Amino acid sequence: MKITTSRYAVILAIQTFLLITDWNINIFALIARQSNVLMLIFFIVQDVCLIFSLSLLLLTFFSTYVFQTGLVYLLYERFRTTLVICMLYFILTTVVHIWSLATRWNNSKYSWTTGFFILFIVQRITAAIYYYWYKRASLRISDPRFYDDIDIPAEKHHQSQHQIE
């Protein structure tokens, strides 16, 4: 299945929307901290957006000719950093959400501990890194070389066959 320009534009628009939604929740969830229910809704929406973002990125990988011919390692080599950052950001975001809500619901007086503050800062820094790498990967996967029947060097093809065995 070859990706078309219009299909890729739709996928890119959805990916951009999910990134903007995540970014906005990172900003506005702090403002909405007066209501536990509103924060919970924001956090659920953010986690779902992160899962959809990663799923959509993986679906674009699966639609490439390179993936369909079994040369997954080529995609993995190019996008390994992005995948690791996506997973790290999702884990950090989920931990911040759980810690934040658990602390708020267990205490009537909410205060930031040193550990939570450090985790929060690390999560926000990771968010900026995630936005860069995710957007970069979503643009790089549009390279026509991933979708065309190209001559893969015999050496790389031999490596993939050897790795399978």
152: alpha, beta or left? (left if phi > 0; alpha if psi -120 to 50): beta
What pLDDT is recorded for position 63? Answer: 84
CA 49 to chain centre: 9
- Compute the distance between CA of residue 165 and CA of residue 163 in angstroms, rounded to an integer: 5
8-28 per-position pLDDT tens digit: 888 899 999 999 999 999 998
Has residue 160 got a pLDDT over 70?
Answer: no
Give the whole-angstrom CA distance, residue 78 versus residue 22.
24
Higher pLDDT, 128 or 141: 128
Task: With 0.85 as the threshold, say if the pTM is over it.
Answer: no
Comparing 118 with 164, the larger pLDDT belongs to: 118
Q: Per-residue pLDDT averaged across 131-148, rounded?
A: 85
Rg of the chain over CA atoms, in angstroms? 19
pLDDT digits (tens, 9 = 90+) for 43-91: 999 999 999 999 999 998 888 888 888 888 888 898 999 999 999 999 9
